[in-house]
Amino acid sequence: MKTGIVNFIRPGNLLKTLAALGLAAWLVGCAQAVEPLRTNSQRTQPSITLWQAIDVLAQQIPFSRSDVENVLSTHLVEKDTSRSPIQNTAFQFYTGGPIKLSDDVVISNVDLRIRNRATHPGFLVLNLDGSCITLDMVRAHYSNLKVTDRPRGRSLDEVTSHTTALQWGELSFSFKERNPNCLSSLAFDPKSVETDNVAK
């Protein structure tokens, strides 16, 4: 018994024990520091509905990271979502979510893409979950819709897209084949500044 105690308190063993305890304390501290960041990236916005979010986001065109973050009360991180094996240097990619809205619609992912060119207004996609938004509900807000994409029978993730032309550009509502009655995503495709100048 005495031999075991002596071995435990030898300087070499004592240093190893202290080092292990220090590492454990550091890991606990890191976990506590990361938790607030995780919480902040998933903040909810209880005072705005999906339709209100669409209206306010459209007013932010041309899009910027900070403006979208402010409207949705979320934090966007820079991440290449193009799925290309070659680094995409033409665009800046930002993603974030989930964000729960006041009508129980959940924005599961925000995908903001801004071309590295001053005249580009940005492209924004909101992937949706939570409360089901039907096509009739979309038509109640946007009656002038035309079908711009249809499934080709290759995947349940293919969509039927309904698009409306607005003063600032096109707004598209997509319904996946796996759940064709509920809105799966919506996309803002603004007109470029150059197009506006040509029109004038």
| Residue 25: C-alpha distances to residues 8, 14, 56, 89, 143 (Å) | 21, 17, 45, 41, 59
Domain of 157?
Answer: 50-199
Neighbours of 172 (CB within 10 A): 18
Give residue 35's pLDDT.
42
Residue 45 lies inside a defined structural domain of this protein = no
Span 96-127, pLDDT tens digits: 999 999 999 999 999 999 998 878 899 999 99
The yes-or-no verdict on residue 162 having pLDDT over 60 is yes
Is 34 in the same domain as 125? Answer: no
Is 13 in the same domain as 92? Answer: no
Is 31 in the same domain as 58? Answer: no
Is 100 in the same domain as 145? Answer: yes
The yes-or-no verdict on residue 54 having pLDDT over 50 is yes
Confidence (pTM) = 0.73
